[in-house]
Amino acid sequence: MTGDGPSGRLANFDHGGSFDLDVTQREILDQADRFGRNELYPLANRMDAEEWWPEEAFPKMGEAGFFGITVPEEYGGVGMDLFTSGLLLQAFGRWNHALALSWVAHENLCLNNIYRNANEAQRKKYLPDLCSGKKIGALGLTEPGAGSDALGSMRTTAVRDGDHYVLNGSKIYITNGPVADVLLVYAKTDKEKGAHGISAFIVEKDFPGFEVAQKLEKMGYRGSQTGELVFTDCRVPVENLVGEENRGVSIVMSGLDIERAMISPLCLGVAERALELSIDYAKTRKQFGKPIGSFQMVQSMLAEMYVHVETMRTFSYRGLAVAEGLESGSGPRGDIHMLTAASVMFAAQTTNKVLDLGVQIHGGSGYIWESEINRLFRSTKLLEIGAGTTEVRKMIIAGELLRDMK
């Protein structure tokens, strides 16, 4: 069936073919999994208990070659692709989802965005230290009064003053904010133009007028540092403007599509670990003289979890594959925009279902704060909110499906 309607557009859309991993991709996933298990998993308990940030983690990840995946070697990167980044995130999410969240905020929201949109001088100045893990990156978009309407309600301003822009305003719920050395920050350079008067800037933590107002303590993903950032007459050199003035919206929108594609494998990693823990528990926990895995109701829950995880895997890989087609500054593009929103919506909601079943299988022990399944359960809600809420994702999908409606 063809045509201009949703059925025709969906039927004709190239979703990227098969999503079985090839030999190289499996090796990369296995290597990242081993690193996550050996280096990141031992940090997870303390991070969750104390909202502790392990300062040695990023340099270790950089030394192992786990930063700058999409960045060419000339800037200190690895020179691979977005799909590979997603595989690393999946593996890290299995073993330390909090650190995985900080990794993707650094790698995707900051580092990859700078590479895709910055000029040559900016790339040479900032990318090598971000790729090595010597410096930590973050993205500043969300504001206290601007969440889902981040562009339209943005109040942070940037006014040209000679060789600088002067930034005033605040950003909130910023992953890596309290520990970031380099931030990609959005501000309005022309308030009259609304969302089309936004520009992007690279801000260093030592710039005068920048401060971390507070570190925020979260329900889940604890240890991944989140904070409120304040700009009070913060002076940013003109050469730190990314792209053209008032053209930041295209950077935001194309970046959001990639961010949504990248969040899905994080959900997948969390769900995979929950299934693994639940299988192990079902084999070893005994009631009425035999393992609870021998009871049909527990088997039913495990079967549901498995189906959810495998379906999520296919959809997540599909989203990563199509997001590869986004070009620098291209903004949302029809089916890609719709599919990345659908991918993360499905992954986030399905992870919630998987963890709900996982805690049920664990029973009372799953309700205890210190248990690993509980730590995973507390993480589920964030990714139904971050990078656009579930409701925003539905609006994107429906908007694309009904685009030709009169």
Residues involved in catalysis: 259
Residues 345, 264: Cα–Cα separation, whole Å = 8
Letter for the amino acid at 161? D
Which residue, among 397, 263, 278, 268, has the nearest Cα to 339 in the 3D structure?
397
Residue type, 162: G
Q: Do 70 and 85 form a contact (C-beta atoms < 8 A)? A: yes
- Secondary structure letter of residue 364 according to DSSP: G
Q: 92 with 44: CB under 8 angstroms?
A: no
DSSP state of 34: H
Burial category of 399 from C-beta neighbours within 10 Å (exposed 0-12, middle 13-18, buried 19 and up): middle
- 354's CB contacts (< 8 A; 6+ apart) are 271, 274, 275, 305, 308, 309
Q: How far is CA 365 from the centre of its chain?
A: 29
Positive or negative, the CA dihedral 56, 59, 63, 67 is: positive
Helix and strand totals (H; E) in the chain: 13, 10
Say if residues 141 and 112 touch (Cβ distance below 8 Å).
no
Distances (CA, A) of 232 to 212, 238, 316: 11, 17, 40
Query: In degrees rounded to 5, what are phi and psi of residue 233?
Result: 50, 45
Are 260 and 383 in contact by the 8 Å Cβ rule? The answer is no
**Can you list the positions of beta strands (E) in 270-312?**
286-287, 290-291
Q: Are 1 and 12 in contact (CB under 8 A)?
A: no
Give CA–CA dist 348/345, Å, rounded. 5
What's the CA gap between 189 and 198, in Å, rounded? 6
Calpha distance 236→258 (Å, rounded)? 27
